[in-house]
Structure 1
Amino acid sequence: MRKLTLLIPILVIALIGVLSSVFVVDEREKALVLQFGQIKAVKEDPGLSFKIPLIQEVVKYDDRILSLDTETIEVTPSDDRRLVVDAFTRYRISDVVQFRQAVGVGGVRVAEDRLGSILNSQIREVLGADQVTSDTILSEDRRELMNRIRNQARDSARSLGIEVVDVRLKQTNLPEQNLNATFARMRAEREREAADEIARGNEAAQRVRALADRTVVETMSEAEREAQVIRGEADAKRNGIFAEAFGADPEFFAFYRSLQAYEKALQGSNSSMVMTPDSEFFDYLKSDRAAK
């Protein structure tokens, strides 16, 4: 009975020792076995593994692709137009031994701080290079710029045991103090373009009006000319008829013209005429001529 009593604690201690020496490496992780801070083993394959209890410890790192958002920074392209840029990167821990040696016990937090500094430095270097303007950064050519930032950041981050998978610029805006000035300049340019369009429209309208007025004048002149021609031809025909009538019967022609003169002269209810008694105007109203 006494032996059983002593055996139970020994078995419990042994069980605890066995359980504390076993650890599981997930397929999404990599593990380091450390002994007094020194790396003794690297566990990259998933499954059960063993360590010495109380002497060795296990540090696990995520083996998946991780994301990091950088801080917003200001860059100055070659055209001296400042831009506010923030980016994000995808990275993974490619070498856990080198990663541990580079960041120590700080782990991912320290690594991301250093990686963020590397990215900001590369963003300033690439976007501030010669021949890189703000229009280039805001155009479709920014893809090439992002690839350059990724490649340079990848070379710099290799010493941390990190592989930079991708880098993307999320936002590229003007600083707040320059944004209003830019909007005002754009508004002024649009107003100038609108004024130019209005001026060109007015000029075109004046040309159309002048052409229409000239067409009206030419049409009226042509119509007036044709009317004068027709009127002249009618007067010529009328005079021809009068001349023919005068030649056929001069006395009747004189009588007809006198009646027309009376009709034009004697109009109204109180027409008065003053003439000498021997005037020939009323010859056809006298009794002797009327009798004839």
Structure 2
Amino acid sequence: MNARMNLLGGVVAFVLVVLAMSLFTVDQRQYALVFQLGEVKREIVEPGLHFKVPFVQNVRYFDRRILTLESSDPERFITSEKKNVLVDSFIKWRIVDSKLYYISVSGDEARARTRLTQTVNAGLREEFGKRLVHDVISGERDKIMDQMREKADVDARKIGVQIVDVRLKRVELPEEVSDAVYRRMEAERKRVANELRSEGAAEAEKIRADADRQREVLVAEAYRDAQKIKGEGDAKAAAIYGDAFGKSPEFYAFYRSLEAYRNSFGHKSDILVVEPNSDFFKYMKNVGR
């Protein structure tokens, strides 16, 4: 009885082990290839629970998510004007055909990265060789990335990979070239600044001379007008005085004498030396009149 129970238990355990070895799960983030004696038998792209023949078949998984391939050091490329530029880029890629991917690069991600890097670098070298430094830095940067993605994707499909995106993070001149460019830019800016200063100084002198001329003209015209008005006023005043005093000459003489007395005796310290019988005092002598 015990022997039968042990045998039954062994059979059940063996069946469970075989069943466990026959089942496997595929995550939604993975592809799976089922191999039989080293040969690919099935490609599984749907997630869930799947079966395989135990002891004969084995399963290998591949990541189906978008991966990033980033260059460790900037690459040096030559533009159409024979100038070196340093380019720092990265690639977004993913596996779309796991069977072809395994056949092409044996499922080795390092080999796939090397293949993609070579493809993208060759394409970038070709694109940069057609353009000037200004174009690759700013002018046609987006166009280069779009064309590079399309070209690289065509080659990547041959190994079961899709190129999702190719991006140029940084495009700059080498240090030795940058220094020369910056020095030339600095000299050019100084030259332009000096020209602008010279033009500004000349314009300032012109404005200043014109302002001085206008000031002299305005002062001369104002002085002329003032003298004219003053002359006209003096003439009118003389005419009024003449007309007024001409009506009574005696009163005019009296008024002028009073003005002379006021001017002569305006201060206590004033001294006047004159004969008492002088005409200067005639209105003081003849007060009644």
Q: TM-score range by the shorter chain?
A: 0.7 to 0.9
3-state DSSP of counterpart to 1:157: helix
Match in the other structure for 2:206: 207
3-state DSSP of counterpart to 1:45: coil
| Inter-partner Cα distance in structure 1 for 2:53 and 2:105 | 25
2:151 aligned with 1:152 = yes
| Inter-partner Cα distance in structure 1 for 2:19 and 2:31 | 22
Compute the displacement of 1:58 (Å). 0.7
* Residue pairs, 1:92-131, within 5 angstroms: 92-105=94-107, 107-129=108-130
2:169 aligned with 1:170 = yes
Match in the other structure for 2:46: 45
Match in the other structure for 2:285: none
| Inter-partner Cα distance in structure 2 for 1:201 and 1:209 | 12
Q: Which amino acid aligns with 2:180?
A: A
| Inter-partner Cα distance in structure 1 for 2:30 and 2:152 | 24
| Inter-partner Cα distance in structure 2 for 1:10 and 1:128 | 71
| Inter-partner Cα distance in structure 2 for 1:154 and 1:29 | 21
Compute the displacement of 1:86 (Å). 1.5
CA contact (8 A) 1:70 1:119 kept: no
Match in the other structure for 1:21: 22
* Residue pairs, 1:169-248, within 5 angstroms: 169-226=168-225
Per-residue Cα deviation, 1:30-79 (whole angstroms, up to 9, x for no partner): 11011232101111111111122222211111122222213421112213
2:56 aligned with 1:68 = no
Q: Which amino acid aligns with 2:172?
A: N
| Inter-partner Cα distance in structure 2 for 1:7 and 1:115 | 56
Q: Which amino acid aligns with 1:8?
A: G
Match in the other structure for 1:249: none
CA contact (8 A) 1:83 1:172 kept: yes
Q: Among the aligned pairs, what percent are the same residue?
A: 36
CA contact (8 A) 1:34 1:56 kept: yes
3-state DSSP of counterpart to 1:64: coil
How many residues are treated as equivalent by the alignment?
259
Match in the other structure for 2:87: 85
| Inter-partner Cα distance in structure 2 for 1:93 and 1:38 | 20
Match in the other structure for 1:260: none
Compute the displacement of 1:176 (Å). 1.9
| Inter-partner Cα distance in structure 1 for 2:48 and 2:232 | 122
5+ residue gaps, structure 2, are 240-274, 276-289
Q: Which amino acid aligns with 2:37?
A: F
Per-residue Cα deviation, 1:103-162 (whole angstroms, up to 9, x for no partner): 115x22221121111111111111222xx2121122253111111101110111111111
Compute the displacement of 1:232 (Å). 7.7
CA contact (8 A) 1:70 1:120 kept: no
Q: Which amino acid aligns with 1:78?
A: S
Compute the displacement of 1:217 (Å). 2.5
TM-score (normalised: structure 2): 0.75
Compute the displacement of 1:216 (Å). 2.3
Compute the displacement of 1:223 (Å). 4.2
Moved more, 148-157 or 223-232: 223-232
TM-score (normalised: structure 1): 0.74
Q: Which amino acid aligns with 1:171?
A: R
| Inter-partner Cα distance in structure 1 for 2:231 and 2:89 | 91
Match in the other structure for 2:55: 54
Moved more, 147-156 or 68-77: 68-77
| Inter-partner Cα distance in structure 1 for 2:32 and 2:233 | 121
Q: Which amino acid aligns with 1:150?
A: R
| Inter-partner Cα distance in structure 2 for 1:237 and 1:84 | 93
Q: Which amino acid aligns with 2:157?
A: R
Compute the displacement of 1:173 (Å). 1.5
Q: Which runs of 4+ in 1 moved over 4 A?
A: 223-240
Measured at CA, do residues 230 and 27 of structure 1 come closer, stay the same or move farther in structure 2, by a change above 3 Å?
closer
